[in-house]
Structure 1
Amino acid sequence: MKIRYIPALIILFLVLPAVLLRFYPDRLAQDQAAVDLSIEQAFAGKISEVTVSGSGVVLAVLSDDLKDSRHQRFIVRLDSKLTLLIVHNIDLAPRIDTLRVGDIVTFRGEYVWNAQGGLLHWTHHDPAGRRDHGWISHAGRLYQ
């Protein structure tokens, strides 16, 4: 392979995952769910601080938590009937202004166990680069 193609290949491998995540987040969530611990397994095992992916129907849109770093809060019901409180940091990622009860969201973030089904946070990029990047997909738009 000629040396002049190496920069193009490096750019391709750096840009391709971002492009795929932007245009196919739902598909990537399904593929990643097979690798990650499932939310149901984490709940059953009372396991916290694990990266999970999934999707659910919005049951309730709660008021924003404006204390310290601001978070948008909403509850989703998974296909397994578990409920999950999602706390989405709106200081680091855009707020989902169009979110309504009944909407479907796909997500990736860090799961924290609780008896009500669990909490999901880190649904955004990590500015320090120490964690997996999380995201929420809603109505064809990616929030990270």
Structure 2
Amino acid sequence: MVQLNPRTLIALVAVGIVLLSGGKLSDIIGPQSASSSASQPASSSVSSGAVERAFAKRQSDVMVVDRGRVVKLLPDDLKGSKHQKMIVKLASGHTILIAHNIDLAPRLNSLREGDMLAFKGEYEWNERGGVVHWTHHDPRGRHEGGWLELNGKRYE
């Protein structure tokens, strides 16, 4: 008999539940395989449609990887944790707000409207298209880290 540690068992049960309920494996592990290296440039990856699916299903707390064109730079949010904010238009035409925590990750000082921006972060649904945050590492190591990538440079 094969013995599994509790984490592996929980993961297998979760995969089974998602698959039995009509979901896809990519809903669990995201568009990149678990073996993808964090150092691989995201700009070469193709849109997975994860943002659009999460928006259509009104889902939140979904890790997504995608890229789009910056259509609007917003003023930094300086209340509480500081966030650099921008509106990004995906290839599908869907727009999202990206809120990048600049207390935990470097600010993208050279970011301009019209720039192509790749990102990995946690999607939160709202009626306006959604927000992507957690575009940085987790200093406590409890949450999957994200990033922004501009002109081949990654900001984590």
TM-score for both structures, normalised by structure 2 = 0.73
RMSD: 1.8
- % identical aligned pairs: 47
Equivalent pairs counted in the alignment come to: 122
Question: Offset of 1:95 from its aligned partner?
Answer: 0.1
Residue number in structure 2 paired with 1:49: 61
**Equivalent residues in 2 for 1:67-106 (5 A)?**
67-106=79-118
How many angstroms apart in 2 are the aligned matches of 1:71 and 1:88? 5
Question: Offset of 1:117 from its aligned partner?
Answer: 0.7
> Segments of 4+ in structure 1 off by > 6 A?
none
Cα 1:23/1:47, change in 2 over 3 Å = closer
Question: Offset of 1:22 from its aligned partner?
Answer: 3.2
In the alignment, structure 1 residue 122 sits paired with structure 2 residue 134:
yes
Question: Offset of 1:21 from its aligned partner?
Answer: 3.1
Q: Which amino acid aligns with 2:112?
A: R
Residue number in structure 1 paired with 2:42: 25
Structure ranking higher in helix proportion: 1
Secondary structure at the aligned position of 1:22 is classed as: coil
